[in-house]
Homo-oligomer: A and B are copies of this chain.
Amino acid sequence: MSILVVGSVAFDTIETPSGRAERCLGGAATYFALAASYFTHVRVIGVVGEDFTEEHESILKARDIDTRGIEHVDGKSFFWSGSYHDNLNEAKTLSTELNVFESFSPKIPAEYANSEHLFLANIDPVLQERVRSQMPNVRIVCGDTMNYWITGHRANLEKVLKGLDVLLINDTEAKLLADDANLVRAADRVLSMGPKSLVVKHGEYGATAFFSEESFTGKPHITLPFRAPALPLSEVFDPTGAGDSFAGGFFGSLAAAGELTPAAFKTAMFYGGVMGSFAVERFGTERTQQLTREEIDQRFALFRELSHLD
């Protein structure tokens, strides 16, 4: 039940009202892999520079994450710096240095070929499609994208969307992709582009899943959306990676369940929220790299209590 994730492994310098962190280990693949590692085995494909040391790699290895697909090349790793001083829901990017990521060409190690689950983190859709096409036997494919690819690389993105079992994006991205400000109509439009289901993340308000008739491998199909809550938090230390941690918890849980059923999907939505809620409690990956499965399941119970009538 391995998940293969392809995406960025990076360093982030982050400013929030709670403080500042210099060059934390970050990147979508990192957050995703750490969050998913509590549910299933995870393999990473990415590229790093000389500044990515054994110490950084050990953070992933400590969670039993397979790092053989992280290519080491000359130069510096992807670096991002951002500030959340004005708005905890949206980072103000202070600088982006693609560095070695600029010429990233994902290579799939032979040992990864039997992965049953594939997560295409937010990278160039051309690269997403290349990886997807090299994994013909993968059972479930989830993907992410962002405004930059939606507006500037739509034709390439549309090819990727056709091959997705689940697209995970936020409200703004869903509405932009569909060119419709109403979420339900936007979801219908996005589903008509190919993904079998759509998870829209609402930040502090949780997430909503929308289903097509092809969402599930077995009967019964469901067409009613599903809403998972987020945990009301009195302090958000650092929102960086919350969306990727949601994706990791969601897809990790789904992969562990083995089958794409409505019940497994709903449970996965809750675990997505759980992992997102941990991610923002400390800077960078600090909280997510040191959890126990017991803490995760306690919080899952909290999410249920928070939203269930009985």
Copies of this protein in the complex: 2
A234 touches which of B184, B235, B308 (Cβ 8 Å): B184
Which residues from B are CB-within-8-Å of A226? 306-307
Which residues from B are CB-within-8-Å of A224? 302, 305-306
A182 touches which of B208, B235, B270, B306 (Cβ 8 Å): B235
How many of chain A's residues have a CB under 8 angstroms from any CB in B?
Answer: 35
Which residues from B are CB-within-8-Å of A110? none
Interface membership of A258, Cβ < 8 A:
no
Question: Given contacts A225-B232, A232-B225, A234-B184, is CB(A309)–CB(B306) below 8 Å?
Answer: no
Let me know if A306 and B225 touch, CB within 8 A.
Answer: yes
Which of A183, A225, A305, A309 neighbours the largest number of chain B CB atoms within 10 Å of its CB?
A: A309
Interface membership of A76, Cβ < 8 A:
no
Which residues from B are CB-within-8-Å of A94? none
Nearest CB in chain B to that of A183: its residue: B232
Which residues from B are CB-within-8-Å of A235? 182, 185
Which residues from B are CB-within-8-Å of A102? none
Interface membership of A202, Cβ < 8 A:
yes
Q: Please, could you name 19 A-B residue pairs with CB atoms under 8 Å apart, sorted by A?
A: A182-B235, A184-B233, A184-B234, A185-B234, A205-B205, A206-B227, A208-B232, A210-B232, A224-B302, A224-B305, A224-B306, A225-B306, A226-B307, A227-B229, A227-B306, A227-B307, A228-B307, A266-B309, A307-B307
The 9 closest A-B pairs by CB, nearest first: A205-B205, A184-B234, A227-B229, A184-B232, A225-B232, A227-B307, A185-B234, A266-B309, A227-B306
- State the A residues within 8 Å of B (CB): 182-185, 187-188, 202, 204-206, 208, 210, 224-229, 232-236, 263, 266-267, 270, 302, 304-310
